[in-house]
Amino acid sequence: MQKNKSPLKESIEAAVEAGQEIMDVYHTDFMVEHKADDSPLTIADKRSHTIIMKRLQAFGLPILSEEGRSIPWSERKKWTDLWIVDPLDGTKEFIKKNDEFTVNIARVKNARPILGVIFVPAKKLLYFAEKDLGAYRCDLNDGFNVDNSDLTQIIKVSQRLPLQPRSSTPRDFKRHPYLIVGSRSHQTPELKQYVEDKRRDFESVDFIAAGSSMKFCLVAEGQADVYPRLGPTCEWDIAAGHIIAEEAGTRVFQHASGKPLDFNKADILNPWFIVSW
């Protein structure tokens, strides 16, 4: 790591490098293993994890990763500043080869995300945010090299989010449908009921199915009005998307109470939540 490289810049480089390694595996006839909870695991998950761990460990902060060792709460409860990482979010989408998988890297301080990077390797789309800096999308399809650019240059070639401003105030949903984005592989009865309820509230409602943390990105871009997650997720699934959505201007809150979400909890499972304009 270059001397004095910022955590955000290093996170961006780590996510892009890991994504490139993931794509090398993506185009092969890879094997699929299954973890103890029966969730799928591939060599791409492992290689991405190795790259990200190597890059982030230089900061001397603890790392909570989906593919890392299980760390007991007695140790984690001392962590006030840490990384939360999902080396390959959407492994099911990766296996299906539908391009809807991401690399997620977040930094969490005092239980709240302060930095987040999401890279969509198959689409070469980079999303990033930092507390009070704003949220951005950078299209790397034109060959722009993040390694050879400083953070100022990366921001300069990026688009500030949202791309299409939304509003929490009533809009003309007759001409512009109320857009809900939800899970492609984990649709629950509660999500389906949520969509039906909105169909009674608005004259026109569209539902967009998407995999991985791309759902956060669609709301942050302004491509959707709301992302209701009425099903289980873990902290590494949402930490990066949380700060990107917030810095874009959305609200992220618990479905039941309306309270903010906390991270590095004793239980790494998240409560149901809503991301909304």
Domains and CATH numbers, the chain: 7-160 (3.30.540.10), 178-276 (3.40.190.80)
Mean of per-residue pLDDT scores for the chain: 93
Helix 7-26 vs helix 43-56: crossing angle, to nearest 10:
160
DSSP 164: S
pLDDT at 175: 55
pLDDT at 171: 54
Measuring CA to CA, how many Å separate 5 from each of 28, 51, 118? 34, 17, 19
pLDDT at 17: 98
pLDDT in tens, 3-48: 568 999 999 999 999 999 999 999 999 999 998 888 889 999 999 9
| One-letter amino acid for residue 95 of the chain | I
pLDDT in tens, 55-65: 999 999 999 99
How far apart, in whole angstroms, are the C-alpha atoms of residue 20 and residue 231?
30
pLDDT in tens, 164-220: 877 655 555 555 799 999 988 788 999 999 999 999 988 899 999 999 999 999 999
**% the chain with pLDDT above 70:** 95
pLDDT at 235: 97
pLDDT at 1: 47
Is residue 70 pLDDT above 90, yes or no?
Answer: no
pLDDT in tens, 167-181: 655 555 555 799 999
Is residue 276 pLDDT above 50, yes or no?
Answer: yes
- In this structure, are residues 263 and 84 in contact, taking their beta carbons and an 8 Å threshold? yes
How far apart, in whole angstroms, are the C-alpha atoms of residue 232 and residue 170?
30
